[in-house]
Amino acid sequence: MSAERPQPTLDPAGDAEDRMVAMHSDPRFDNLRRTFVSFVLPVSVAFLVWYLLYVLMSAYARDLMGTVLFGDVNVAFVFGILQFVSTFGIAIVYARFAGRKLDPQADNLRAELTGAATGTRGGRA
């Protein structure tokens, strides 16, 4: 990979659509997209497997899921609660990841894209 990155042709006189099309061919935009997918894809697959494990065990491992751990709390209840915990955990981890890795890159690209707009903010009046 070369140290020089070709910059998109962002003609300040061009319309917003032309600038957006040019930005899509920018290597920095590709890097932003790759960074996003490299986080979201594995986490989504892992969560889907975790969720399907819960569903399949509820359907086919009823004895195990019905095992009482203490009082009226059984394994199925704990699995169900852990579904919520993992969902919130993923949301928190993603928010931190996005704030650290994605947002700065996206903000820079957006500033460059909207900075080329003449007299409007982000192409909006």
Residue 4 in domain: no
pLDDT in tens, 35-78: 999 999 999 999 999 999 999 999 999 999 999 999 999 999 99
Residue 104 in domain: yes
Averaged pLDDT, 94-106? 95
Residue 102 in domain: yes
pLDDT over threshold 70, residue 13: no
Element (H, E) at 80: helix 75-97
Please state, for a pLDDT cut of 90, what percent of the chain lies above it: 60
The SS3 of residue 11 is coil
The SS3 of residue 8 is coil
pLDDT over threshold 90, residue 120: no
pLDDT of residue 115: 74
Residue 25 banded pLDDT, cuts 50, 70, 90:
confident
Range of the domain at 61: 16-114
Q: What totals of helices (H) and strands (E) does the chain contain, helices first? A: 5, 2
pLDDT over threshold 90, residue 10: no
pLDDT of residue 21: 78
> Based on the structure, what is the number of domains in the chain?
1
Residue 67 in domain: yes
The mean predicted confidence, pLDDT, of the chain is: 83
φ, ψ dihedrals at 74, nearest 5°: -115, 180
Residue 11 in domain: no
Residue 26 in domain: yes
Q: Please state the pTM of the whole predicted model.
A: 0.71
